[in-house]
Amino acid sequence: MTNDPKKRTFCTQGYKAFLHKEYLRAGFLFGQALFLDPIDSHAKIGLLLSDIALDFPKEAHSFYELYQSLLDSQPRRYKSSIQHQILDLIASFDDSLSKMAQAFSTENQLKAESLEGILYGDFKAMCAGKDFKEVFENLMFSTKVIFDKKEDFYEFLDNLVENGFYDMSISYIENMRELLWYDERVSNILQKALKLEKQAKESQ
């Protein structure tokens, strides 16, 4: 399997797709190569770099440049050693990311507890398979919802509007106007809330 021409073609096309920033396609091609030869380090590196590039493209391309530089500058007999070095570096990078994510998670949880609130991620998990309106009504007077990402706040506001909490969504936006000015997405949500609130009052 080591010299399978199909595997070489998949790897060549995979790295080409990676360089064109087509990371999902690159990952698929490297996956095909590994299906033919599960222990191929060249394909394994490509697959890992394609995965990293989805969230950290700059770092992934830096790894790729280092990998190519070492391959180009060292005799071919060192290829296996170079590949193991790169795989170790990638593993170290993944481990660092995991520790960072764990640290952020702990920090956010402590922040939520100190503010006597609930992180939006936890609130969202509570809503899974349940009615947003019912879950929110059970929490709204006793617990603050805490956000650590802007996208979460947008989603929360949208859900408030979709579930008829027009006054609540408008109040959230008004209270944070200084921080959000000028935010086009929040402005659009506000206009939507005002429009639906007006329609609701007219239909009464």
Residue 45's nearest CA partner among 80, 73, 74, 76 is 80
In angstroms, the CA 139 to CA 102 distance is 26
3-state helix vs strand vs coil in the chain, percent to 5: 80, 5, 20
Asked if pLDDT for residue 182 goes beyond 80, the answer is no
Tell me the domain boundaries of the chain.
5-105, 116-202
Q: Name the residue with higher pLDDT: 184 or 177.
A: 184
109 pLDDT higher than 70: no
- As a whole number, the mean pLDDT across the chain is 80
Q: What is the pLDDT of residues 44-92, one digit of tens each?
A: 999 999 988 888 888 888 889 989 888 888 888 889 999 998 898 888 7
How far from 74 is each of 60, 62, 78, 79, 86, CA to CA, in Å?
21, 18, 7, 8, 14
**How large is the average pLDDT for residues 16-30?**
94
DSSP 89-100: HHHHHHHHHHHH
The string of pLDDT tens digits covering residues 134-178 is: 888 877 766 777 776 778 888 888 888 888 888 888 887 776 655
Instruction: Answer yes or no: are the C-beta atoms of 14 and 46 closer than 8 Å.
Output: yes
CA 108 to chain centre: 17
DSSP class of residue 183 equals -
Strands (DSSP E) found in the chain: 117-119, 144-146
Query: 100 pLDDT band (50/70/90 cuts)?
Result: very low
Q: Are 30 and 46 in contact (CB under 8 A)?
A: yes
Asked if pLDDT for residue 193 goes beyond 70, the answer is yes
